[in-house]
Structure 1
Amino acid sequence: MPIVRSHGYLRESFAVAHRLRGAVGTTGVLLLPPLGYEDVSAYRPLRGLADALAEGGRLVLRLDWPGLGDSAGDALDADLHHRRLETVRSGVAALRTHGCRAVVGIAVRAGGLLALEAGGFDELVLWGTPRSGARFLHEERLFQRLAVASFGAGAPPPPPGAEEAGGFLHGPSVIAAMSAFDPTTAVHTGLRRALLIGRDGAAPDSALAAGMRAGGVDVEERRGEGLGALLENAYNATLVAPIREAVLTWVGGSGAEEARHQPVRESQGSAVRLETHLQLDAAVERPWLEVGGAGALSGVVCEPVGGVRPGMAWTVFYNAGGIRRCGPNRLWTTAARALAAAGRPSLRVDVRDVGDSDGRSEPAADLEAMYAPSSIDDAVRAFDWVVDQGAGSVNVVGLCSGAFLGAQVSVRRSVRRAVLFNGLAFVWDDDARASSMTSQVRGSLFDARRWRRLLTGKIDAFALARAMVNKGRLRVQRWRSGAPGPDPVAALLGEIRARGTDLQLVSSAGDPSIAYMEGHVNEGERPPLTLLEGADHTIRPTGLHGRVVALILGQSQRDSNPCLCPERAPS
């Protein structure tokens, strides 16, 4: 039977329910992601795990944490930690109300700490969960020390009392609450059984296991593998088969599964009831699903509180590589809500193979998929949907491969303004392939993770060598030709501007996108370029986000009297 996914909101959290079509069993699973950067990376693989759990007849619920993804909240909210605990409790309660006799929690990293503190589960799977909140924060600080190596000079610090880790903030109240929580001494009321999975090559934390056993929990321990593969980055993230099978086997062999084949009656409904809208102070959001012959595309529509009227200026945000629609470091969610507060609706969209859109669950072999004609088709579909809502004009925003999509849409449709960040390729050709492949190691020779990926075959060494040779060959060919024909990148950008689009390029200082532009477009012909000092490729640290939102918002606010109406011209 096919898996049915229902998108909506549980309290203030974006949620997705997974189930088999028709009746489901009486075991519910609440899937709790990690926090921050790790959540961005793990999102797509955990979606695949939810599908696999649902195939076994279970009702599965996935949640975005408040303050992250497409949920309500901000990292600096004073009550954010409490609201995250309430999100867990609400998820457990929703599954029980639906008819689930037992609820199993599956949590990764800090998600496990929140699951233990919130309680209410019959059984738990904890993967890579630290022994305490203080330990987790210590690890986040170490991670941030590595991340700052990619920031330029003049990077602004986080707000007073807050700490940044990989482009995400932990506010003072979250730091205080997590520092105080020690699961090794917690009371685990009602928790009967737990599977603890360690980090790569390591057993689970012994103090955590001992503390849970002392609380009467039947604990099974498993040496870890694949956590790094899950959390490394959104484009390459994968759930390794041994862990996937271990989790499915453990959940399937639990006492909670004894009544699995006793279905919930259809009259009770076959999916957890989720709210259709998220009401914010200055915006209203709702899930977006566009079903077509090539598969369903997923996203989020963000509207002003007063609603949408014909003739309004819309903005479409395209995903960046494997990062889902909320954008790098949740930047698109923040910008979309700022636009709504200014009276501007928007759509944040995932192309296929990303976020919650249809497509593969495993990562692509190379970067080609992000620049494929199918991705362009998806980007155009999203744009056309916005036009069909009566948009008076449409702006597009994208970063990296999202900038590529924004440029490709702009040459196919009437785009009012295109704000494109750190575009490493606007035309996908041999030169772009060479540049994209070599950029994986250029400037990052100190990065042990990159070398590990190369040495273990996750970066194709032969493809890298071919790319370097091709890049050199292309340069020689251009030098020998003396009078080359029109550069395809310069021609594309020239055509976009000739169509009347206000093209604004934004690059982090020192980003390879600058060299890409300089290598393709003559100085006097380049579009305006705004430099972000102190930013890396994904626009970290968070202190720069205000400037980025102002850039996007400023573009939109000049659209009060649009003179360019979008059309659905043939591609």
Structure 2
Amino acid sequence: MRPVLFDGRFGWLHPADGPSGVVLCYPFGYDALCTYRGMRRLAERLAARGMPVLRFDYSGTGDAAGDASEPGRWRAWIDSVKQAVALLRETTGVERVTLCGLRLGGTLAALAAQELGGVDGLVLLAPVLSGKNYQRELRAHYRQWLLMPGALDCEVEPDTDAFVEAYGFRLYRDALESLRAVDLQRDAWRPAGRVLVLDSLDPVRVDALVAHYREQGVQVERQSFDEYGKFMLESLDSQMPLAAFRSIEDWLSCATGEPVAHESQATDRDADSRAGRLAEPMADHIGELAVCHFVEPGVIETPVWLDGGRMFGIYCTPESHAATAAPGVLMVNTGAVSRIGNARLGVRFARRLARQGIASLRVDLGGLGDSQPSLDALSLNALYSQAGADDAACAARWLTARGHRGAVLFGICAGAFVGLHAASREPAVIGAVLVNLQKFTWRNIRDKHRKPSGQEAALGSTRRYLRSMCQPRKWLRVVRGQTGGLLVARELAARLPARLSTMLADTIERMCGIQLELKDKQHLFTALHARGVDTRLLYGALDEGVEELERNFGGRGGRLRRFDRIGVAFCERTDHAILSARAQENVMSYFEEFFRSTFDETCWREPSVAVEPLDARLDGRHARLTRWLLKRARAFRLSGEA
């Protein structure tokens, strides 16, 4: 596969020699993050069957230029599908083109095919049939996210007509008005000569769409999509819909005249092997690719291969080359999410830094995003492996080879774990900001079947439970038996001895200078301090990672204070995955001030985090109750306001 650019849009071409090609159309927002790995695998499988495939990012999404808030997005997205078809025809010389879209991507594919005419085939995977219903679905997703533990301290967005948000991705008024008017049955009445529909969400509406197409003389095949629910899980847990992929491959092969390989003749393992062989020539390309482009005035992005083509990244720089003398920022994956980042944070932050004269590399570590190898499944053990830290170290060395004065790591959650271990041993890393770090060391907690092999992690942070105790509705749920109040009480009681032990060790160290309970976790920070790596741990005030921090390093990470180059900060209104707009601004602002204060010799101040006063967030009665609880909790070093 090789990267391509057209009119500011970024994509991947999976070459093959067949006469029929396929354009893959991504879903929108969080759906695209969840299914990124799966859509790549589908492209590789189709290319292995002799069909060249083009997948790409719409304007203002993914690695493409622009922002979702700009006007005219809906029209631009439809036009981008049409341009992708033209590019595939021009680049590969295919005679026939099929559009294949998932969710909103299916809707865009159908509308673009209707406008283009002459499209041979159309594959609709759980398409959005009604724009109005889709907007209601996004609003429901946002409300669902607010109930999740990781969103407990987030800032709730107002219910407004200006935008609709789900998991940090927004559709703005201009796009909403266009989408609200969409009815797939009415607006794409005869999009292609052949149509394959896979859907299990809305059978009544889908049956009506299929009947409508058949009335127009379209050859339609209707199949169920029973794997949809497991495919649309978050990126780590998303499972390949192998049955759906086989159906698509067979349906397209029938159109090309290629014999259909039945399960007894070719297994999914054979398909994966062919797809892997197809991707191997990519490793011959090393370093920078000749597809750099301006994503906005003064900001250039360049796709790059690292480590002989095994890892892929986007190098984002200001137009001025003076930035190469300064340290470069290295952004690693958040969990199993591609380099784009949750809520597109990686892309937005890289371009924001470039506008300030700071270059960055957002990289896919091995097995993630568009790096090699492409995988059907991932596990926590893979995300928290030392191989990931080695990959991050390799990317840091790439930045220094470009002339940068070292690399400053930026990672969230599992990315923070990878960054910590890379920074502790890689000389090219001179700084790190690690956000919501959950674990300092990792042990295997799942077997090869992804089943728990030991005791799972604790229930949550003590701070979170203390905050919940201030909410009457939580007590009401306990009284009604809707939540396990007794289980929580037992967990908090079990934590008390460990906290008291840590507090005692902390007191002895401060008074006598004797270090007790020196663990592997502390050796990591000793190594960072010895190497002079400026490191900051940044936590949301109620994040579960605070529990791990205080269990190992005392209240508020106090035992880390003896390292003058290591700091800990806490930030209000910051959810775990950094999905909300307020959390993203908090994290980006903190990093920028850290970078300026640490690596600009004219300025040496500690980064600050804006903390919202308690009284501004709670009414008077709840504020008094919260202060009373927190005052007594601090006595046992259990919690504290950040």
Q: Give the TM-score taking structure 2 as reference length.
A: 0.74
Match of 2:102 among 108, 115, 127: 108
**Structure 1 position 8, deviation (Å):** 3.0
Q: Distance in 2 between matches of 1:550 and 1:216?
A: 57
**Which sits farther off after the overlay, 196-205 or 490-499?**
196-205
Q: Percent identity?
A: 27
Q: Distance in 1 between matches of 2:120 and 2:14?
A: 20
- Residue 492 (structure 1) aligned with residue 524 (structure 2): yes
Q: Distance in 2 between matches of 1:341 and 1:315?
A: 13
8 Å Cα contact 1:33-1:39 kept in structure 2: yes
Equivalence for 2:3? 7
- Residue 525 (structure 1) aligned with residue 525 (structure 2): no
**Structure 1 position 505, deviation (Å):** 1.4
Q: Distance in 2 between matches of 1:195 and 1:203?
A: 16
8 Å Cα contact 2:339-2:363 kept in structure 1: yes
> In structure 1, the residue corresponding to 2:106 is in which secondary structure?
helix
Q: Deviations over 1:369-414 (max 9, x none)?
A: 1121221211111111011111123211001111011111211124
- Residue 44 (structure 1) aligned with residue 78 (structure 2): no
Cα 1:309–1:75, aligned 2, differ >3 Å: closer, same or farther? closer
Equivalence for 1:412? 425
- Where do residues 181-196 of structure 1 align in structure 2 (5 Å cutoff)? 181-188=182-189, 191-196=192-197
8 Å Cα contact 1:505-1:529 kept in structure 2: yes
Q: Distance in 1 between matches of 2:459 and 2:207?
A: 37
Equivalence for 2:291? 276
Q: Deviations over 1:430-478 (max 9, x none)?
A: 799999973497599xxxxxxxxxxxxxxxxxxxxxxx9xx99x979x9
8 Å Cα contact 1:124-1:193 kept in structure 2: yes
> In structure 1, the residue corresponding to 2:99 is in which secondary structure?
strand
Match of 1:438 among 445, 448, 456: 456
Q: Distance in 2 between matches of 1:206 and 1:441?
A: 45
Q: Which ranges in structure 2 are unaligned for 5 or more consecutive residues? A: 260-280, 283-288, 465-490, 506-514, 561-565, 604-642
Rg (Cα) greater in structure: 2
Q: Distance in 1 between matches of 2:22 and 2:257?
A: 11
Question: Where is the helix percentage greater, Structure 1 or Structure 2?
Answer: 2
Match of 1:392 among 383, 394, 405: 405
8 Å Cα contact 1:27-1:257 kept in structure 2: no
Match of 1:379 among 373, 389, 392: 392
Equivalence for 1:18? 14
> In structure 2, the residue corresponding to 1:316 is in which secondary structure?
strand
> In structure 1, the residue corresponding to 2:325 is in which secondary structure?
coil
8 Å Cα contact 1:231-1:237 kept in structure 2: yes
Q: Give the TM-score taking structure 1 as reference length.
A: 0.82
Q: Distance in 1 between matches of 2:255 and 2:290?
A: 31
- Where do residues 78-89 of structure 1 align in structure 2 (5 Å cutoff)? 78-89=71-82
> In structure 2, the residue corresponding to 1:507 is in which secondary structure?
strand
Cα 1:25–1:391, aligned 2, differ >3 Å: closer, same or farther? same
Equivalence for 2:155? 155
Which of the pair has the greater relative contact order for Cα pairs under 8 Å at 6+ separation? 1
- Residue 286 (structure 1) aligned with residue 302 (structure 2): yes
Q: Deviations over 1:178-197 (max 9, x none)?
A: 11111111245561011111
Count of residue pairs the alignment pairs up: 513
- Residue 236 (structure 1) aligned with residue 237 (structure 2): yes
Q: Deviations over 1:252-288 (max 9, x none)?
A: 1125879xxxxxxxxxxx99xx971231223111111
Q: Distance in 2 between matches of 1:357 and 1:48?
A: 12
Match of 1:137 among 104, 110, 135: 135
Q: Distance in 1 between matches of 2:576 and 2:61?
A: 20
Q: Letter of the aligned partner of 1:487 in structure 2?
A: K
Q: Letter of the aligned partner of 2:94 in structure 1?
A: C
- Residue 304 (structure 1) aligned with residue 318 (structure 2): yes
Equivalence for 2:533? 501
Aligned Cα root-mean-square deviation (Å): 3.3
Q: Which ranges in structure 1 are unaligned for 5 or more consecutive residues? A: 259-269, 445-467, 564-571
Q: Distance in 2 between matches of 1:187 and 1:519?
A: 58
- Where do residues 444-483 of structure 1 align in structure 2 (5 Å cutoff)? none
Q: Distance in 1 between matches of 2:134 and 2:58?
A: 17
> In structure 2, the residue corresponding to 1:85 is in which secondary structure?
helix
Equivalence for 2:120? 122
Q: Deviations over 1:160-212 (max 9, x none)?
A: 60111112111111111111111111245561011111136968722332333
Q: Distance in 1 between matches of 2:208 and 2:460?
A: 42
Q: Distance in 2 between matches of 1:18 and 1:431?
A: 37
Q: Distance in 2 between matches of 1:407 and 1:435?
A: 25
- Residue 422 (structure 1) aligned with residue 436 (structure 2): yes
Q: Deviations over 1:44-85 (max 9, x none)?
A: 111111010001111100112222221112121111112111
8 Å Cα contact 1:419-1:503 kept in structure 2: yes
Q: Letter of the aligned partner of 2:392 in structure 1?
A: A
Q: Distance in 1 between matches of 2:543 and 2:193?
A: 52
Equivalence for 2:166? 165
8 Å Cα contact 2:19-2:256 kept in structure 1: no
